[in-house]
């Protein structure tokens, strides 16, 4: 078996090599899935506490229940067929980050949150994006995926659909030429929040069912997404019931990937009482509030 951590992964991390010891970060794995509003509120609450110097930089791994469609921060609500979303039992939530719609179900989700001045967040959006992509690729290679990242000059054009997983953007993760992981980043109030999704199993085209499209366009888009994106099970060529695509196995590999690629010491922790209170307030005032969700 080849080395899962190729030397090409570290060429952009020269500024980190000065550190003789791994950097201490908090690592949170949610024991149970949360609603869409709760997941976004927790990420935002941690970001606000990191900005204030009250929380350690944090890597969080989590799941969703019930399934939720998340919209990018500036994406039109009209991209969705809200009646069909409700009929399928999905929630709708608007992310604090950009990008396009994602259906969160049967997936592994990560977030990386730190003060904007942290060395890992140094430079611009794409500098941090590249570093985090390297950690994700390291974790995926530990799982046995021949993962790679899209070139840095790839940008989504104006004619791209409302589906996040239609095409990869710069440094997003691919496997066999198909998009495997999508991520989005926000830089506000002295903090950086990046989160992203790894679909583990299931029909990668399910999101198309809840978009406001003509039947003909929906059929076309379903074919396009099927050819351009994949799940972890498809990337590995294993059955969906395989232990190789379990949430627990992905958590373990991704933890190791972040520690190896970014020289982190991830210490398992939990949300503070202040973060939980802030998240509850954010659910009421923002992420669970129709005024926020239905904007645009």
3-class secondary structure per residue, 236-269: HCCCCCCHHHCHHHHHHHHHHHHHHHHCEEEEEC
Rg for the chain (alpha carbons), in Å?
18
Based on the residue annotation, tell me whether 230 is a catalytic residue of this protein: no
**Are 146 and 230 in contact, with CB atoms under 8 Å apart?**
no
Angle, CA 58 vertex, CA 53 and CA 63 arms, to 5°? 135
**Are 91 and 59 in contact, with CB atoms under 8 Å apart?**
no
Rounded Cα distance, 62 and 42, in Å: 11
Rounded Cα distance, 102 and 270, in Å: 26
Measured CA to CA in angstroms, residue 245 lies from 40, 68, 93, 228 at distances of: 24, 21, 26, 20
Measured CA to CA in angstroms, residue 244 lies from 94, 147, 267 at distances of: 31, 15, 24
Of 38, 85, 137, 164, which residue is the catalytic one? Answer: 164
Rounded Cα distance, 109 and 251, in Å: 10
Chain centroid to Cα 244, Å, comes to 20
**DSSP, res 269:** -
Query: 178, 177, 200, 184: which is closest to 254 by C-alpha?
Result: 200
Backbone angles phi and psi of 165, in degrees to 5: -90, 15
Q: From edge to edge, which strands make up the β-sheet containing 68-71?
A: 91-94, 68-71, 102-104
Q: Mind telling me the catalytic residues?
A: 164
């Amino acid at each position: 078996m080849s080395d899962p951590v190729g030397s090409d992964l570290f060429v952009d991390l020269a500024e980190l090599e000065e550190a003789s010891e791994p950097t201490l970060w908090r690592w949170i794995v949610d024991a149970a899935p949360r609603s869409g509003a709760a997941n976004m509120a927790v990420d935002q609450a941690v970001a606000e506490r990191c900005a204030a110097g009250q929380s350690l930089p944090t890597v969080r791994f989590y799941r969703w229940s019930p399934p939720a469609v998340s919209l990018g921060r500036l994406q039109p609500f009209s991209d969705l067929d809200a009646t069909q979303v409700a009929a399928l039992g999905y929630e709708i939530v608007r992310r604090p980050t950009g990008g396009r719609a994602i259906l969160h179900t049967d997936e592994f989700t990560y977030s990386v949150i730190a003060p904007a001045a942290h060395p890992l967040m140094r430079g611009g959006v794409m500098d941090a994006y590249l570093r985090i992509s390297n950690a994700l690729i390291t974790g995926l290679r530990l799982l046995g995926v021949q993962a790679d990242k899209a070139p840095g000059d790839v940008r989504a054009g104006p004619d791209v659909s409302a589906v996040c997983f239609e095409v990869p953007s710069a440094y997003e993760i691919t496997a066999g030429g198909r998009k495997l992981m999508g991520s989005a980043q926000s830089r506000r109030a002295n903090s950086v929040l990046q989160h992203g999704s790894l679909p583990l199993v299931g029909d990668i085209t399910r999101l198309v069912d809840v978009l406001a499209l003509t039947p003909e366009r929906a059929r076309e888009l379903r074919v396009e997404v099927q050819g351009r994106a994949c799940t972890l099970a498809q990337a590995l060529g294993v059955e969906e019931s395989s232990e190789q695509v379990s949430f627990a196995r992905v958590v373990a590999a991704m933890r190791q990937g972040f520690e190896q690629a970014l020289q982190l010491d991830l210490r398992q922790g939990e949300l503070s009482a202040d973060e939980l209170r802030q998240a509850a307030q954010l659910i009421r005032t923002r992420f669970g509030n129709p005024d926020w969700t239905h904007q645009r």
